Structures are given as structure tokens and as C-alpha cells.
Amino acid sequence: MQYDVVILGSGPAGLGAAVYAKRAMLSCLVLEKKSMSGGQIADTGEVDNYLGLPGLDGFSLAQKFREHAERLEVPFSRCEIVSVKKNSDGFLLEAKDGTCYAAKTVVVATGARHRLLGVSGEKELTGAGVSYCATCDGAFFRGKEVAVVGGGDVALSDALYLARMAQKVYLIHRRDTLRGSRHLQQQVLSNERITFLPNTIVTQILGDGRVSGVQMENKRDGALQTLSVDGVFIAVGMEPETAFLGELVQKDSSGYLVAGEDAVTSVPGLFAVGDARTKRLRQVVTAVSDGANAIASAEEYLLNQD
């Protein structure tokens, strides 16, 4: 069977695309790598900025997205796609187990993964004080003390954002100087609520069910220090899940698929949404809208093929 659209990924962008595809009466299939839908939000303790559903935890929001798709009888299949090839009829997608799928169009909603520090306590306390999104979770740390790990533009922006609500922000960076733009550096270094800790690495995140602090090592003298904080925001970069596409489609220098708000990529019929594509704001609300835009573009593409 050849589907009108095969959607790779079942996060907010992929599920948004699935709902719109069904409503457009397109034959569709969602292929998901993980056993649970929702993408990154499924691991988020609380989502307080999704319109109309304040205070809902990420897992519950992810379930609502999935239930909406299931109510429309969207078909799902669990597999990992390892290659996508374009042919005269559309696309051929090969899964890790050897199964192949045929599609007239493809929506890539595979997202991106946060680079991890790889230290003890990080995975265990993710969603319980460890966060990778200051704009998502910052409001939960009003009046508290937090740490931001990183030295680029994202880390600096996160520190400034958190300084608006947190009592104290520690910016921990492994180098002696920050890597972000000079404008952001000046703002960070002049902010009384932000303390810059250079030449410092986090060796362990502490806490029993909830973050209580971090253990740090000074790179110059090897001295260890424990810092009491209520939250740790990790901003050491992202890695898009797009390697399986090889050289098929245009990517930027970081591996993100080059696509605008219409989700159109360099390959006709292949659309990129959510955290897999180049975009300014990576939030649940923009991911869902990406899915809708991708199906609108796919409908137009399919119409022109007839």
C-alpha cells in the first residue's frame, strides 16, 4: 500500500500532522521509534504555557494529543526508519527490521535530542529539577536558586530569562570565557542576580527525588565544591534526529532540515516539522502548528501531482 503521507515521529508536530491529515481525508501512517508518543514533552514535569491547558503535566498533554489522533483512527506502527529514498512514484522508507513503506509524501517529525552532560543524577532527576528548557520550566522556580550549564547564546539567554524570576542564577561554564554574543555577555555579567562560574564543570547532580544541588570541579586546580540549587538547566546544545536521511535533503551546518513555516524542504514532497527543522522558537505550540502547515503543503503538492 502506498500512503498519501507517512509521518515519522509522534511528538506534538507529528501528531498535529496526523490529525490534520485525517481531517483532510488523506491516507496516512505514523511511524514512531519510541514506545510512547509525545516526544520531549512526555518527560516534562509540567507544561504551563500551552494555550487553554495551564498546569497540565507533559505526560498528560502527550496522552491527550495521542488520544485525539486515535479518535480519528490514525494508524500507528512502531519502527525505526533507517533510510528514505525518493523514486518516480514518491518515497520508499526502509525500517531497521527490513520492513518497507511506500508514500507519496513524507513528513519528518523526528525531533531533536538535547545533548546530555552525562553525569550521575541527570537522567534520574530529569523533570524533577533538571530541565533543558528555561522558557518551559522557568516559572516553576520563582524565588528559588538555579544553575544554568553552558556558555553559548542559549545558555546566556536562559540565564537572563531565569534571572527575571529566580532569586539567584549560577551560570556554570567549562571555559574561562563565555561563547555567546557580546551583547548577551554584557547583559549577563552586569546582572546582579547572575553569578558566572568559569572553568567549572558539573560532575554530579544531587537530589533524592528532587534536585537539591550540584557537585562541581574547578578545572584549574581540581577542587570540588557543592552548590545548593533547586533546579539545573542544561544548555549545552541540541542534536537533530536527521542522520538517517543522509544526503537526500538539504540541512544546515548543525544537521537541521532547512525548511520554513510551510515545512517545504529541498526535496519536493518531503516536509520537515518541529524540532527537526530550522526554526527560531522550539515550543509545543509551534510544533503543533508546523504539523498543520506541513499537511496544507502536502495537500497542495498532491493536488499538483494529479
Which residues are the active-site residues? 133, 136-137
Q: Produce one character per residue of 30-59: b if its CB has 16 or more CB atoms within 10 Å, e if not.
A: bbbbeeebbbbbbbbbbbeebeeeeebbbb
Q: How far apart are CA 14 and CA 180, in angstroms?
A: 32
Q: How far apart are CA 46 and CA 248, in angstroms?
A: 37
Name the 3-class secondary structure at 107. strand
Q: How far apart are CA 283 and CA 41, in angstroms?
A: 10
Using CA atoms, how far residue 62 sits from 110, 255, 286, in Å, is 15, 26, 15
- Burial of 98 from C-beta contacts in 10 A (0-12 / 13-18 / 19+): exposed
Residue 62 parent element (H or E)? helix 58-71
Helical H segments across 138-238, by residue range: 153-163, 182-189
